[in-house]
C-alpha cells in the first residue's frame, strides 16, 4: 500500500482533577493522508508555517519509520482538520497519532498500538491526549519507567459534551508556565479523591456526583486568568446543574451533562455574559480510536 488516510478523534485531557493522566476521545476529527513518493516532502491542508519537516504528522511518521529501520524517501501529506488548533482539544496529539499510524500501516503494521504510543509519548511528553486518540473512549495513563501505561474506563453512553471554543488560542507552553512547581499535601489529596470520583461518576452517568467531583486544585485555578470570563462561564454551567472543566490546557471550556435542555439554555445565555466570541459545539464521546478510513 502506498497511500493511506488516518482519521483521529479530538481528545480532552485532564477532565478536571486528572491532570496529565485522564483523557477522553470526542466526536470531532482530523483526517491525514500519507502518500509515499520517490523524494521530497509536500504538506498541504494547513498554514504555510506548518509545512516544513517539523510538522508533527511528518515528525512522528519519520520516528516510526526509523524505529522499523525503514527509510523515508519522500512523502505527500494532506491534512483535513476539524479539530481546532491550540484550543485544548488534542490537535497536536491527533497529528502525532496520524503520522505514527500512517507509517505503521504503510509498512505492514509491524508495531502494536502500544509501540506507537511509546514512540509518540517520547515526543509529546505526556500521554493524556495520545492515549484516547489511539484507543478511543475514556482513558487514564501513567508513565512507568519512562513508558506509558494506559487503561480504558467504562463510560455511560449518554453524556453530552458541550465544547465552548473561544475565538482566541492559548499555547500549552504558556498554560504550563503558570503552574507552580510544588503543591501542598492537601491539594494532592483533594485531586486524588476527586479524580477517582470523576471516573466513577462518568461510568455511572451520575451528573450530581460528576458536578462535585469535577473540581481541581492542580491547574485550573492557575490557568483561569489566561481565559477571558472563565469564572463567569463556570458559574453559569454550575447553575444549570452540569459539570464544568477546562479542556486540556485550554482555552476551550467543557460543560458535561445528560440533561438535554442544557444545550439550549447555554446557547441562549453564553453570549450575554462574555466578551469573547465562544462557539458552542455539541459533542459526544468517541469510543473508537484512530483508524484507517481509506
- Grid coordinates representing 214? 469535577
The reply to whether 36 sits near ligand HSE by the rule CB under 6 A is no
Out of 128, 207, 216, 234, name the contact with ligand HSE by CB under 6 A: 128
Q: How many residues bind ligand HSE (CB under 6 A)?
A: 13
The reply to whether 14 sits near ligand HSE by the rule CB under 6 A is yes
- Grid coordinates representing 123? 515526543
Out of 129, 215, 220, 257, name the contact with ligand HSE by CB under 6 A: 129
Question: Between 36 and 195, whose beta carbon lies closer to ligand HSE?
Answer: 195
Out of 20, 31, 207, 286, name the contact with ligand HSE by CB under 6 A: 20
As a whole number of angstroms, the distance between CA 173 and CA 167 comes to 19
Question: Between 33 and 252, whose beta carbon lies closer to ligand HSE?
Answer: 252
Out of 76, 176, 200, 238, name the contact with ligand HSE by CB under 6 A: 176
Q: Helix (H, G, I), strand (E, B), or coil: what is residue 7?
A: strand
Question: Between 96 and 243, whose beta carbon lies closer to ligand HSE?
Answer: 96
The CB-of-200 to ligand HSE minimum distance in angstroms stands at 21
Stretch that binds ligand HSE, among 150-158, 172-180, 192-200, 205-213 (CB under 6 A): 172-180
Measuring CA to CA, which residue among 9, 4, 6 is closest to residue 289?
9
The C-alpha cell 445528560 sits at: 258
As a whole number of angstroms, the distance between CA 12 and CA 22 comes to 8
As a whole number of angstroms, the distance between CA 23 and CA 12 comes to 6
Residue 176: alpha-carbon gap to chain centroid: 15
As a whole number of angstroms, the distance between CA 89 and CA 213 comes to 21
Question: Between 30 and 129, whose beta carbon lies closer to ligand HSE?
Answer: 129
Distances in Å between the alpha carbon of 149 and those of 127, 188, 238? Answer: 9, 21, 33
Residues that bind ligand HSE (CB under 6 A): 13-14, 19-20, 126, 128-129, 172, 175-176, 219, 248-249
Amino acid at each position: 500500500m502506498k497511500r493511506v488516510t488516518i482519521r483521529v478523534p479530538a481528545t480532552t485531557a485532564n477532565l478536571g482533577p486528572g491532570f496529565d493522566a485522564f483523557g477522553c476521545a470526542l466526536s470531532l476529527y482530523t483526517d491525514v493522508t500519507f502518500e509515499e513518493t520517490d523524494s521530497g516532502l509536500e504538506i498541504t491542508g494547513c498554514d504555510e508555517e506548518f509545512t516544513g519537516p517539523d510538522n508533527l504528522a511528518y515528525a512522528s511518521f519519520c520516528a516510526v519509520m526509523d524505529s522499523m529501520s525503514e527509510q523515508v524517501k519522500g512523502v505527500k501529506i494532506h491534512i483535513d482538520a476539524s479539530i481546532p488548533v491550540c484550543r485544548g482539544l488534542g490537535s497536536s496529539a491527533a497529528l502525532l497519532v496520524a503520522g505514527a499510524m500512517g507509517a505503521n500501516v504503510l509498512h505492514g503494521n509491524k508495531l502494536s498500538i502500544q509501540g506507537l504510543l511509546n514512540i509518540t509519548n517520547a515526543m509529546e511528553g505526556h500521554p493524556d491526549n495520545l492515549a484516547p486518540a489511539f484507543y478511543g473512549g475514556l482513558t487514564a495513563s501513567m508513565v512507568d519507567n519512562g513508558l506509558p501505561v494506559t487503561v480504558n474506563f467504562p463510560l455511560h453512553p449518554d453524556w453530552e459534551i458541550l465544547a465552548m471554543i473561544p475565538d482566541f488560542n492559548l499555547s500549552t507552553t504558556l498554560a504550563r508556565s503558570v503552574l507552580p512547581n510544588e503543591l501542598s499535601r492537601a491539594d494532592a489529596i483533594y485531586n486524588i479523591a476527586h479524580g477517582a470520583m470523576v471516573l466513577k461518576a462518568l461510568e455511572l452517568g451520575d451528573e450530581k456526583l460528576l458536578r462535585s467531583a469535577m473540581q481541581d486544585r492542580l491547574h485550573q485555578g492557575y490557568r483561569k486568568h489566561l481565559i477571558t470570563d472563565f469564572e463567569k462561564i463556570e458559574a453559569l454551567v454550575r447553575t444549570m446543574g452540569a459539570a464544568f472543566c477546562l479542556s486540556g490546557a485550554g482555552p476551550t471550556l467543557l460543560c458535561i451533562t445528560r440533561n438535554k435542555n442544557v444545550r439550549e439554555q447555554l446557547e441562549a445565555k453564553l453570549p450575554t455574559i462574555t466578551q469573547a466570541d465562544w462557539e458552542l459545539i455539541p459533542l459526544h464521546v468517541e469510543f473508537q480510536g484512530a483508524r484507517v478510513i481509506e
